[in-house]
Amino acid sequence: MPDFLPPAVPAPDAGWRLENSYASLPKVFHFAIAPVPVRAPRLLVLNRPLAELLGLAAGSLDETIFTGNSLPPGASPLAQAYAGHQYGGFTTLGDGRAILLGEQITPGGARFDIQLKGSGRTPYSRSGDGRAALGPMLREYIISEAMHALGIPTTRSLAVAATGEDVMRQDGPLPGAVLTRVAASHIRVGTFEWAAAAGDRSDMEALVAYTLQRHFPELAAAENPALALLEAVSGRQASLIARWMGVGFIHGVMNTDNMALSGETIDYGPCAFMDAYDPATVFSSIDRRGRYAYGNQPSIAQWNLARLAEALLPLIHPEEPRAIELATAALEQFAARYQADWLAKMRHKLGLFNEEAGDSALVHSLLEWMHRAKADFTNTFAGLVQPAPDEVFREWQETWQARLARQPESPAESAKLRNAHNPAYIPRNHLVETALAAGQSGDLGPMERLLEILATPYDHARDVPEYRAPDPAGGAGYKTYCGT
Q: Which residues are catalytic?
A: 257
> CB–CB of 9/70 below 8 Å?
yes
> CB–CB of 163/40 below 8 Å?
yes
Backbone angles phi, psi at 89, to 5 degrees: -105, 135
Neighbours of 95 (CB within 10 A): 25
**In sequence order, which residues have a C-beta less than 8 Å from that of residue 407 and are 6 or more positions away?**
352, 353, 354, 414
**In sequence order, which residues have a C-beta less than 8 Å from that of residue 323 and are 6 or more positions away?**
313, 314, 316, 317
Which DSSP helix (H) or strand (E) runs through 382?
helix 377-382
> CB–CB of 311/200 below 8 Å?
no
Query: For residue 261, which of 299, 207, 315 has the smallest C-alpha distance?
Result: 207
Query: For residue 158, which of 115, 103, 98, 99 has the smallest C-alpha distance?
Result: 115
CA dist., res. 427 & res. 150, Å (int): 11
CA dist., res. 68 & res. 98, Å (int): 10
**In sequence order, which residues have a C-beta less than 8 Å from that of residue 374 and are 6 or more positions away?**
276, 277, 278
CA dist., res. 17 & res. 72, Å (int): 9
**In sequence order, which residues have a C-beta less than 8 Å from that of residue 172 and are 6 or more positions away?**
none
